[in-house]
Structure 1
Amino acid sequence: MLSGLHHAAIICSDYARARAFYVDILGLTVVAENHRAERDSWKLDLALPDGTQVELFSFPAPPPRPSHPEAQGLRHLAFTVQDVAAVKARLESAGVAVEPIRTDPYTGRAFTFFKDPDDLPLELYEAG
């Protein structure tokens, strides 16, 4: 059966802006970057330290997300961190708006939300 999450795929509206956000601000590692001329599209494979990947795609004029945040389908991506407050502070120092830290009532762990350049909701979730 399933043994883990390999990747999540994101379509962005501005490739350079999204690449800078995921690489320079969030610190994901570039695994591969390819321009697909026949589709006028970039595909950027990014890795987290645990091997999980994020695929970042660009396409000409992608439609916007239909509603936020409760549209049917993927609600948000959650990233595990050791210290939510420290990562929140680092993101805010880079100009990223981050919601106040909350506590998960079921696990007691800290978490918060922020958005990528296309308003995709992202979560920081403190590891146990």
Structure 2
Amino acid sequence: MQLLGIHHIAIICKDYERSKKFYTEILGLEIKQEIFRAERSSYKLDLTLNGIYILELFSFPSPPDRPSRPEAVGLRHLAFAVTDLDQCIHHLDNHQIRSESIRIDEFTGKRFTFIADPDGLPIEFYEV
């Protein structure tokens, strides 16, 4: 078996419209396709970044909360590379999204910060 790369990441959200707005209007991901699956009463939103398919956003009726703090077993966070962390934080501030204090990666010396998506999932912005 040979892995070629990561195909996509899937996220289940509690409030579909709020999460759709967050990932598209605030983070700037582009909609590739949006499907309503009536048999599941669920949306599936395929999102791209720079033309590359990276994220599926799902809505399901009454999904259970996922504990994330303290650290829980499972996917820890989603990280996006940015070229200017200060500009990124300013953009988030303009949308009333509070970021954590800037940290320094002890191994690379690079700066990064975290926010929470509308459902509290941790999202990292890592300056490259």
Separation in structure 1 between the aligned mates of residue 89 and residue 67 of structure 2, nearest angstrom: 27
Q: Any unmatched runs of 5+ in structure 2?
A: none
The TM-score with structure 2 as length reference comes to 0.95
Shift of 1:100: 1.3
- The answer as to whether partners of 1:97 and 1:114 remain within 8 angstroms in 2 is yes
For the residue of structure 2 that corresponds to 1:68, the secondary structure is coil
For the residue of structure 1 that corresponds to 2:113, the secondary structure is strand
Match of 1:93 in 2: 94
Separation in structure 2 between the aligned mates of residue 87 and residue 5 of structure 1, nearest angstrom: 24
Asked if 1:17 is matched to 2:22, the reply is no
| Ranges of 4+ aligned residues in structure 1 off by more than 6 Å | none
Shift of 1:51: 1.3
Shift of 1:52: 4.3
Match of 1:29 in 2: 30
Separation in structure 1 between the aligned mates of residue 101 and residue 21 of structure 2, nearest angstrom: 24
Shift of 1:66: 2.6
- What do you get for the CA RMSD once the two structures are aligned? 1.1
Opposite residue 93 of structure 2, the aligned amino acid is E
Shift of 1:6: 1.5
The TM-score with structure 1 as length reference comes to 0.95
Separation in structure 2 between the aligned mates of residue 69 and residue 126 of structure 1, nearest angstrom: 25
Shift of 1:101: 1.1
Match of 2:77 in 1: 76
Match of 1:118 in 2: 119
For the residue of structure 1 that corresponds to 2:32, the secondary structure is strand
Separation in structure 1 between the aligned mates of residue 53 and residue 8 of structure 2, nearest angstrom: 6
Opposite residue 84 of structure 1, the aligned amino acid is L
- The answer as to whether partners of 1:43 and 1:58 remain within 8 angstroms in 2 is yes
Opposite residue 103 of structure 2, the aligned amino acid is R
Match of 1:8 in 2: 9
Trace 1:49-68 onto structure 2 (pairs within 5 A). 49=50, 51-68=52-69
- The answer as to whether partners of 2:31 and 2:45 remain within 8 angstroms in 1 is yes
Same amino acid, percent of matched pairs:
54
Match of 1:42 in 2: 43
